[in-house]
Amino acid sequence: MSATYIDEPDSPAPPYIPGRSQDKVDNASTPTSSIMDNEDRSQRCYLTKFTLYETKSRYYLVGSNQADSVFRVLKIDRTSPVELTVIVDDTMYTKQEVVDLLMMIEYGNRTGGLSKVASAWGIIGFVRFTEGYYISLITKRSVVALIGGHYVYHIDETELVPIGQASKLEKNSEEARYMNTFRNVDLTRNFYFSYTYDLTHTLQYNMTRPPQTADNCESNYNDMFIWNHYLLENGFKSLKTNSEWILPIVHGFVEQTNCIYAWARIEQMNVNYVDLFISVFGRNVFIALIARRSRHFAGARYLKRGVSDKGYVANDVETEQIIAEMSTTSFHTYDRLFGNPRYTSYVQHRGSIPLNWSQRSQDNLGMAPKPLITLNCVDPFYTASALHFDDMFKRYGTPCIVLNLIKVRIFPSPSCINRIFLLRCPGLSLKTAKGKGQTRINLIGRARRGNQILEPVFAGDAENPAYRLGHVTPGIVIGFLENIAEKSLQETGFFHSGPEPYINVLRREQA
């Protein structure tokens, strides 16, 4: 069976219900709910549950940690329709203190009172169209993975709440049109978040970066993968403040399993598939796949191609495979932070061809299924391509192995792009390697004499040996790609957590 998790309620319970008599919270029964000293108040807490209250002049967003032992309050002004004023209360409250605070707010607003608006699991951000601001909240979530004791969630439902005084929108107004356009971006499909694990970075970065100190408490999120970056900037001055209210949202794919599904025909059992548990020396292992899509230069197919002037390729996706033996889930051991040696990770990257090209339909082509490929501009220095590979070296180190998957026997033929890409990659390797030691690019592409560039063989190709024999053998493709994968893995290596295995020391001595 695949990885399963305990069901949770659709919405968190509010700490305070306006208009109802509140029972006194028994702090003595819960040690974590007692009054915190100065040292405890200075520590960061992770807010996982939120309740939105409103008065006529303000919104009060109350957040709490998982144990309901620490509460924070965010105040949002509602008097100005065009300006957004968000006040972060730095006080860390206990449950009884936040109940007393809300009762005092309700008592001070006798005319309009205090009412509960919504319960949520996180803040996506703030957005404004033509009139007032809105706050976007996560109202339903589901667990999809558990990595090192950190839960990863998928967004299932969201709610857009107007911050100003509610008013009925006209059907054909500009505000309604922009709101419908915003809602076309379905935030309930392939958007993920985690309260305690940094999804914007790889496992290697998260387990090897230096711990935060009092002098260096800024967050290190990779804003390339924060899809609610602009929405959060509207309400918070900086995303580097390590605030408990900032929750990065990642677009892509996250799934974790401890088995594979093998389809089979077993007539006696009358089943269509069987579960094959992944076992290594009798120990079950879990495989997690995380795909992070960059927010830079993203778009629909055929509308976004090539590379931008800043070196961002279209539809950049970073895919990470994490394999773990889950006898202990934590990253840490009893004597060492991030000392658990049972995690491995391998990262791959895909993106559009890093050249200035496009593939858009022209008026004279009508309903062409595949628009023609055009080179937008010719840069003799290939600056954008060099910036792209510089970014690759900065993110992943060296060497950078490129697998060329350009199809040269289809229409419209991208052979012109393939020719330029193959000719310029050696030049880019020399250009980016200047002054950087062993920085280099290994290109796996079209085969030629006099170099080590290869071309993949695909089943069904007229030049495929299997095709010439009168039958198609898909296994030849898999075997070829397996050879590429094995050589690439030997060249780049993979991340292994914990202390270095002693076998590596022996191999270095034998080399």
Is 227 among the domain residues? Answer: no
Question: What angle separates helix 383-396 from helix 415-433, to the nearest 10 degrees?
Answer: 60
Among residues 186, 387, 415, the alpha carbon closest in space to that of 297 is found at 387
Number of domains in the chain: 1
Tens of pLDDT, residues 300-320: 777 788 888 888 999 899 999
Is 439 among the domain residues? Answer: no
CA distance 78 to 452: 65
The reported pLDDT for the residue numbered 424 is 63
CA distance 327 to 257: 15
Is 494 among the domain residues? Answer: yes
Helix or strand or coil: residue 265?
strand
The 8 Å CB, 24+ separation contacts for 139-146 are 139/10, 139/11, 140/10, 140/11, 143/5, 143/8, 144/192, 144/254, 144/255, 144/256, 145/3, 145/254, 145/255, 145/256, 145/288, 145/290, 146/3, 146/5, 146/256, 146/329
CA distance 103 to 82: 30
Is 483 among the domain residues? Answer: yes
| Positive or negative: CA dihedral 310, 313, 314, 317 | negative
The reported pLDDT for the residue numbered 82 is 82
Binned at pLDDT 50, 70 and 90, residue 499 comes out as: confident
Question: What mean pLDDT, rounded, does the chain reach?
Answer: 77
Tens of pLDDT, residues 216-228: 556 788 889 999 9
Range of the domain at 504: 472-510
Is 495 among the domain residues? Answer: yes
Is 169 among the domain residues? Answer: no
- Does the pLDDT value for residue 279 go beyond 80? no
Among residues 66, 234, 227, 241, the alpha carbon closest in space to that of 158 is found at 227
Is 376 among the domain residues? Answer: no
Rounded to two decimals, what is the model's pTM? Answer: 0.81
Is 488 among the domain residues? Answer: yes
Residue 392 in tokens: 């690759």
* pLDDT (average), residues 164-174: 77
| Positive or negative: CA dihedral 221, 227, 228, 231 | positive
- Does the pLDDT value for residue 467 go beyond 50? no
Q: Which residue has the tokens 């069904």?
A: 460
The reported pLDDT for the residue numbered 396 is 87
CA distance 461 to 408: 11
